[in-house]
Amino acid sequence: MVVAPARPAMTDQMIAAVTRSVGTSPPHSCSRIAFGRAWIAMTIALAAHVTDEALTDFLSLYNPIVRAARARFAWFPMPTFTFGVWLTGLAGLIVALLMLAPLASQDRSTSASGCPGRRRRRC
């Protein structure tokens, strides 16, 4: 019979190291700033994608596919778009996402560090 080697008992130093490492996650303010930056980057990427689709005439491919799908499946719920309506809707979405960016990076925590009982750290 094979016996698994015994694990070493946790020493006081190991326990102290684990206890210290528990609090190493970034404070909420840092993670909120990172989330805000990611939000803006996502919105810019979406704007670049919409620009690419507008320049390459995406609707000339999309609309015939939707019409064919609707002819085959009466329940198919996808709409067809004119260029102006499509571009205005997506531009409005991008503007709305950019307007939400301050909310995405706002630190709404109750303590200075974002976590009760934690000291404030530099980001």
pLDDT per 10-residue tile (average), the chain, 123 residues? 62 66 55 87 97 96 95 92 97 97 77 50 56
pTM (two decimals): 0.62
Backbone φ, ψ for residue 93 (5° rounding): -60, -45
- 93 CB contacts (<8 Å, ≥6 apart)? 46
The structure tokens listed for 41 are 């980057």
The structure tokens listed for 22 are 């528990």
CB-count burial class (<10 Å; 0-12, 13-18, 19+) for 33: middle
Whether residue 38 contacts residue 97, with contact meaning beta carbons closer than 8 Å, is answered with no
pLDDT score, position 100: 94
